[in-house]
Structure 1
Amino acid sequence: MKKLFLSITAALFILFGGMSTAQADDYLRVGMEAAYAPFNWTQNDNSNGAVKIEGTNQYANGYDVQIAKKIASALNKKVLVVKTKWEGLVPALTSGKIDMIIAGMSPTEERKKEIAFSDAYYISEPTLVVNSKGKYANATKLSDFKGAKVTAQQGVYLYDLISQINGVQKEVAMGDFTQLRQAVESGIIDAYVSERPDALSAQNANPNLKMITLKDGFNTSESDTNIAVGLRKNDPIITKVNKVLDGISKTEQINLMDDMISRQPATVATDEKSSFFKQVVTIFKENWQQFLRGTGITLLISIVGTIVGLFIGLLIGVYRTAPLAANRVLAILQKAFGWLLNVYIEIFRGTPMIVQAMVIYYGTAQAFGISLDRTLAAIFIVSINTGAYMSEIVRGGIFAVDKGQFEAATALGFTHNQTMRKIVLPQVIRNILPATGNEFVINIKDTSVLNVISVVELYFSGNTVATQTYQYFQTFFIIAVIYFILTFTVTRILRYIEKRFDSDDYTTGANQMQTKVVN
């Protein structure tokens, strides 16, 4: 079974992992969500001037990508898109993971405290998106939305504009436009504030969504509506960037945006008479490669993370149950190291994995200049997180072994390590198998939070498909089914292993071993 796990892990790493990031000077690493059409989106080929997304077999395109290509050309470089969740863009820039942000970002005063901005390369116009069959489909002015449940994306100026609507029910901000569109379509909210290009794209792609053209719109400032390139503070490249942007006239901006709107990937055709499951099958057939790759990354991270975490837990469990050394100095050092292990366990059990991912991946680069490969960083994060939990599970498993076996081993002159290796750990491993399986299942699901450090796992891949097709319920149904298949299969495999441990051959061998030790 050990060889089987190692073989599976190696195969997954070859197929889905180990993808080195481009660090060469001839690449301009640009951060964006690649899921905010028409500013940026993900597609499966390099048609219409799309560029490569780092670490995947996919490509990015859109208005932002075309602007990035103009800047890169002036710098004699090629564009390499680093696909990153919105909340991870600024940390990615300040930590040196990317060279610039071109993602429809406004140069607000809050952001200016962290990063620098170029001149504007587009001026946005805020509007609202509603359900085309809903109560507010015929609204024409802000006052029509009195009493409406309205929200916007988290961390953008659009959310602050909601307060300008008298009597509005301002809902909690959401993480991305996928959630916003799904919430409007399902009736959870009545409207969300967006920018005109996104709203127009949503309306064209999904008949259930409608952009509201406001006669009397929001009051905005230039810092809000201007869309600019984000750069690190004191980056000398800003002069060249501004020179490129100054050469793009307002007419060229409008024409380029219109062109990108027309070139967006076509949404999956929806026949209202078609059943839900037929739509699901259509989406899967057209996007199975994205789902497959995301599933592979999820399995790679969860398998390696669980195995390494189990190994860490076993080492810590053995160490923490070891008797103090006879030498006083060694005993003090042993206690000090044990205290450090307790700190490690409490920190990683007491903080969310998404926070750990942000701190380890971006924090180490910003504070110490250590640049980690995102896949290796993800495996490391899951491993040490699992190790913290497994150490407590192992410790409990060791204490569950009858004390008489420890006493017998000590009487026979066994060292602590010999006692653990030959008598205790074989029993512990069997006893903690259910808990280990539970950790494995949790890791499969928790890899979804790693998209914050740009890991394109199953959820991130599925979310991209949803933004491309505008078929949110159908797409997330596919994701749910894949997660269920993974967790169900893992559970059944582990139960088979438990039965093998409980088999007569294993039990007989274990009893013979313990009898030999006692005699």
Structure 2
Amino acid sequence: MNKHNRSLFLTAAILLIGTIFSVLQPQSVSAKTAEGKYLIGTDVTFAPFEYQNADGKYIGIDMDLLNAIAEDQGFEYELKPLGFSAALQALESNQIDGMIAGMSITDERKATFDFSEPYFESGVVMAVAASNDDITSYQDLAGKTVAVKTGTTGSAFAESIQKEYDFKLNTFEDSANMYEDVQAGNSDAAFEDYPVMAYALKNDRLKLKIPTEPEPGDNYGFAVNKGMNPELIEMFNNGLVNIRANGKYQEILDTYIGENSTASAANIGFLGLIKENSSELIKGLGRTLGLTLAAFVIASIVGVLLGLFSTSPNKGLNWIASLYVDLFRGIPLIVLAFFVYFSIPQLLDLRLSATIAGIITLSLNTAAYIAELVRGGILAVDKGQLEAVRSLGLPYNLSMRKIILPQAVKIMIPSFINQFVITLKDTSILSVIGIVELTQTGKIIISRTFSSGNMWLVVALMYLIVITILTKLSNYLERKLQND
């Protein structure tokens, strides 16, 4: 390999490394945001404690308590609706400063987190389908399937009696899908925190009933990472005392679980569901497209360089490309998302936003596939052409740029559009780290309306329309290039 070739590929290698690490720059390593606000994580689907109303605002017992305490104590916060499991991991990795999400205070969690004084005492109930008269006690659960939501008091109680009553567990990340599973008959019963279930049953869409008396539950607490932000715990405790004394605490409870409280959603039908939530859905679609475009641009740069590496005469560059492709095609996307968002900040002591982590995840994954598209496109060009121009004395770089790559690009363009479609669909996985893209938007709406069947149909149609347009574009370009 001559000096010019080595220089070209050394430059490409530097660009590749720079591109990857440029997106890994820390957003902030301080405990608060740049504006001095605490970052507080929460769940997204746990009514009446936290859920999103039709105006896109997060409300509920936890949200109102947090707001009242912050106002009483004079601190500011920025809310991060992540989902329960993602919020727990974000708190442990110092991505957020505190968490309030109907979180039970347990000895196991005390080993990892510091808790406030309890702000709510929960109970546990079992619910079955309204038409189910066969299950009236725990003994009737033998051989049955029970649905639970991860991290809840209901889940902990179900696990504690599972062996005694011999039933199987079916675990969900949100309550709405758990209820739907029972109504559909896939699960026979569900265990849920009592106030959550009582609130949900006020919605006439849920055809469930409670056949047993409530069981004692756990206390809910506000949490920070172990040894971190003790002043935040102190302010929460002091504020809790004050709002209990002035009556604000009881006013908040009465709003959501008092005798005169009502569920936040009614049966509005398919078209009504679209009309009421159109702005949220469009925003979710916009985030999906934005994530896809940003990640695909980065992935294209990295992937093209890696594709050139893989077809280079240089064995070292071949090895780099092969290692990258094998690594990032071999790691499941959901595992990669967790690693980027939770593990990298812990290892490097930095803070990444969910959006940046999502773009990095998609870029790393997509670049591996684009590299193979580029390699395949180059190899699809008759290698005799490269040998012919090389025999005429043209250098390798010029031969590739003038002869091989123009033909390879025609071959690759339809595949690039197909890969864009795949990346677009892959964004749905990023909901696990709290990005509110189209799929997560659907989940949030379902948690408020309990219209899972209609809502997933709407989301599916939105994806289908966008992907159909892209597919038609791919077909058009393919025909046009074949005619050129």
- Pairwise CA distance, 1:301: 1.5
- 1:150 is matched with 146
Shift of 1:106: 1.0
The 1-side partners of 2:429 and 2:65 are apart by 30
Contact 2:307 2:371 in 1 (8 A): yes
Aligned residue in 2 for 1:69: 67
Once residues 80 and 116 of structure 1 are traced to their aligned partners in structure 2, the CA distance between those partners, rounded to angstroms, is 20
CA distance in 2, matches of 1:308, 1:497: 22
- Alignment partner for residue 107 of structure 2, among 93, 106, 109? 109
Instruction: Tell me which residue corresponds to 1:353.
Output: 333
- Tell whether 2:27 aligns with 1:27: no
SS in 2 for 1:120: coil
CA-to-aligned-CA distance 1:154-206 (integer Å, 9 cap, x gap): 23443242252654422331221122011012111121110111101111013
Offset, 1:114: 2.5
Farther off after superposition, 485-494 or 424-433: 424-433
* Aligned pairs (5 A) from 1:204-215: 204-212=202-210, 214-215=212-213
Structure 1 residue corresponding to 2:342, chosen from 340, 343, 362: 362
Letter matched to residue 224 of structure 2:
L
Matched, 1:231 2:207: no
Aligned to 1:285: 275
| Alignment-derived partner of residue 321 in structure 1 | 311
Q: What is residue 53 of structure 1 aligned with on the other side?
A: none
Instruction: Give the equivalent residue in structure 2 for 1:418.
Output: 398
When residues 101 and 263 of structure 1 are mapped into structure 2, their CA distance, relative to the original with a 3 A threshold, is farther
- What is the rounded CA distance, in whole Å, between the counterparts of 2:237 and 2:263 in structure 1? 30
Distance 1:186 1:60, change over 3 A: same
The answer (yes or no) to whether the contact 2:202–2:262 under 8 Å persists in 1 is no
Could you tell me whether the CA contact under 8 Å between 2:47 and 2:196 is conserved in 1?
yes
Most deviating of 435-444 and 187-196: 435-444
Task: Write the distance in 2 (CA, Å) between the matches of 1:379 and 1:264.
Answer: 40
Bigger mean CA deviation after superposition, 494-503 or 245-254? 245-254
381-390 or 307-316: bigger deviation: 307-316
Q: Is the 8 A contact 1:200 1:211 kept in 2?
A: no
Question: How far apart in 2 are the matches of 1:184 and 1:75?
Answer: 43
2:222 aligns to what SS in structure 1?
strand
User: Is the 1:68–1:79 contact (alpha carbons within 8 Å) kept by the matching residues of 2?
Assistant: no
Give 1:511's aligned residue.
Answer: none
Displacement of 1:249 after TM fit? 4.6
Query: Paired residue for 2:384?
Result: 404
Deviation at 1:338, TM superposition (A): 4.5
Structure 1 residues 344 and 156, CA, compared in 2 at 3 Å: closer, same or farther?
farther
Q: Is the 8 A contact 1:116 1:230 kept in 2?
A: yes
Matches within 5 A, 1:407-486: 407-486=387-466
Deviation at 1:44, TM superposition (A): 4.2
Q: Does 1:42 align with 2:52?
A: yes
Over 3 Å counting, the alpha-carbon distance change for 1:257 and 1:201 in structure 2 is same
Opposite residue 260 of structure 1, the aligned amino acid is Y
Residue-by-residue CA offset, 1:344-375 (whole Å, 9 max, x unaligned): 22221111112211211232322223333432
Unaligned segments of structure 1, at least 5 residues:
1-19, 46-57, 271-278, 325-333, 507-519
Q: Distance in 1 between matches of 2:223 and 2:211?
A: 30
Deviation at 1:60, TM superposition (A): 0.8
Aligned to 2:97: 99
CA contact (8 A) 2:205 2:450 kept: no
Change (3 A) 1:95 1:74: farther
Percent identity between matched residues is 29
Distance in 1, Cα, partners of 2:350 & 2:319: 27
CA distance in 2, matches of 1:338, 1:230: 49
C-alpha distance in 1 between matches for 2:143 and 2:366: 46
Q: Match of 1:267?
A: 265
Residues 337-352 of structure 1: pairs in structure 2 closer than 5 A: 338-352=318-332
Distance across 2 between alignment mates of 1:371 and 1:413: 53
Deviation per residue, 1:14-69 (Å, 9 max, x gap)? xxxxxx99924442322112321100111244xxxxxxxxxxxx321111012211
Separation of aligned partners in 2, 1:234 and 1:383: 35
Q: Give the distance between the partners of 2:450 and 2:45, measured in 1 at CA.
A: 11
Aligned-residue offset at 1:482: 0.9
Two-structure CA RMSD over aligned residues (Å): 2.5
Separation in 2 of the partners of 1:311 and 1:494?
20
Question: Does structure 2 conserve the Cα–Cα contact (< 8 Å) formed by 1:34 and 1:61?
Answer: no
Q: Distance in 2 between matches of 1:410 and 1:114?
A: 64
Question: Would you say the 8 A contact 1:317–1:395 is kept in 2?
Answer: yes
Q: Identify the residue that residue 126 of structure 1 maps to in structure 2.
A: 124
Where do 1:10-25 residues align within 5 Å?
A: 23-25=33-35
The alignment of Structure 1 onto Structure 2 pairs a total of residues equal to 448
Contact 1:268 / 1:471 at 8 angstroms: preserved in 2?
no
Aligned to 2:235: 240
- 1:209-250 CA-to-partner distances (Å, cap 9, x unmatched) read 3341634x54x6xxx611111101112222332233344559
Structure 2 CA distance, aligned partners of 1:409 and 1:229? Answer: 70
Distance 1:203 1:157, change over 3 A: closer
Shift of 1:310: 2.7
How far is 1:388 from its partner? 0.8
Residue 299 of structure 1, CA deviation: 1.2
State the match for 1:500 in structure 2.
Answer: 480
Structure 1 Cα separation of the partners of residues 398 and 278 of structure 2: 50
- 1:121 and 1:253 in contact (8 A); partners too: no
Q: Do the aligned partners of residues 305 and 431 (structure 1) sit closer, same or farther apart at CA in structure 2, a change above 3 Å counting?
A: same
Q: Which moved more, 1:356-365 or 1:369-378?
A: 369-378
- 3-state SS in 2 of match to 1:29: strand
